[in-house]
Amino acid sequence: MNDKGAPADLRIAELARRQHGVVTSKQLREAGLSRNAVLERRRVGRLHPLHRGVYAVGHVAPSVERRWMAAVLALGDGTALSHRSAAELWGMLPVSSTAVDVSVPGRSGRRRRSGIRIHRPVSLMRAELTRQRGIPVTAPARTISDLRSVLPARELRQAIRQADFLGLATAAEITTDRTRSELERRFLRLCRRHQLPMPAVNTTIGTMTVDFCWPSRNLVVETDGYRAHRGQQAFEDDRARDLRLKGRGYEVLRLSYRQVCDEPDRVAAVLVEALGPRASLSGHT
């Protein structure tokens, strides 16, 4: 804050003004308040707990920006509003009263908080983060990419149309690569890194939509995240699909999240063999 010599309450008020009326315990300490001073301000109604270690200053009048900011601050450094909540902040979707979506860096073990839905993306680059109305948030293109895995098709189309109308992202950024999950994006990066022929993505064979396909090589790759493919019924459905695809002349490879993320060289070698002599490992890193 600009005036370090100002009384603690003035410094806190200025900080709260910039953060939609929300401050953290750490910020209160840095402003000069002791633990007892914080407790006293809570007792007299000058601080109102929103989440553990996060307070509204002065009053708790409802504000969607306050909800969003409080959720981001509650999860600590590097956290950003994401998914549906980010889309609402950008104006791609109408504001809802559902839990606030935030993404935290890496595989952070940060605790769950009431009213907050935590996402832990495998990768979240600095270039994919920004601020809107002072709130840390995923950039529009990354927001749309995240929405593909959580929204039904109708709402996703609505969000994309609105993003286009508002000029939030270029057409190329909005359409991206047709992937529906982080695992699918990781697989495409694997193909690019190893300079493999790029597959068709989420394409249709008969009545089935497959994750990746090389039609000229009669090869299909299905990337199987645990949540979407666990259980007896999912197991049986996957095998039934495999038989139908093989009946149409396609070889089917199923890859797990661990294989794609932890064994990319081995996966690339298998793909080279399956794709034939024109595939190359010259991009191996």
Residue 200 lies in a domain: yes
Residue 1 lies in a domain: no
Residue 283 lies in a domain: no
For 201, the 3-state DSSP assignment is strand
| 151 and 206 share one domain | no
Residue 282 lies in a domain: no
Give the domain extent around 156. 64-175
Among 36-45, 107-116, 214-223, 255-264, which is the least confidently predicted range?
A: 107-116
The answer to whether residue 42 scores a pLDDT higher than 80 is yes
CA distance 210 to 205: 7
Percent residues over pLDDT 70 in the chain: 82
Token pair recorded at residue 95: 């504001």
CA distance 221 to 271: 9
DSSP 161: H
| 69 and 52 share one domain | no
| 207 and 256 share one domain | yes
CA-based end-to-end distance of the chain? 46
Residue 160 lies in a domain: yes
| 170 and 78 share one domain | yes
Residue 240 lies in a domain: yes
Residue 34 lies in a domain: yes
134 vs 207: which has the higher pLDDT = 134
**DSSP characters for 35-98?**
HHHHHHHHHTTSEEEEETTEEEES-----HHHHHHHHHHHH-TT-EE-HHHHHHHHTSS---SS
Q: What is the mean pLDDT of residues 171-175?
A: 57
Confidence of residue 133 (pLDDT cuts 50, 70, 90): very high
Residue 76 lies in a domain: yes
For 247, the 3-state DSSP assignment is helix
Taking CA atoms, 110 is separated from 7, 130, 146, 277, 285, in Å, by 33, 22, 20, 47, 32
Which CATH number do you get for residue 199?
3.40.960.10
| 163 and 107 share one domain | yes
| 144 and 198 share one domain | no
130 phi and psi angles, rounded to 5 deg: -155, -165
**Tokens 């999240």 — which residue?**
257
Beta pairing partners, 251: 219
Confidence of residue 3 (pLDDT cuts 50, 70, 90): very low
Beta pairing partners, 100: 116
Q: What is the mean pLDDT of residues 190-194?
A: 90
Half-sphere exposure of 179 (CA within 13 A, CB side): 18
The alpha carbons of the chain give a radius of gyration, in whole angstroms, of: 24
Q: What is the pLDDT of residue 69?
A: 96
CA distance 149 to 84: 11
Q: What is the mean pLDDT of residues 256-266?
A: 88
Q: How many CB atoms lie within 10 A of CB 88?
A: 21
Q: What is the pLDDT of residue 5?
A: 42
| 43 and 85 share one domain | no
Q: What is the mean pLDDT of residues 234-246?
A: 79
- How many folded domains does the chain comprise? 3
The answer to whether residue 181 scores a pLDDT higher than 70 is no
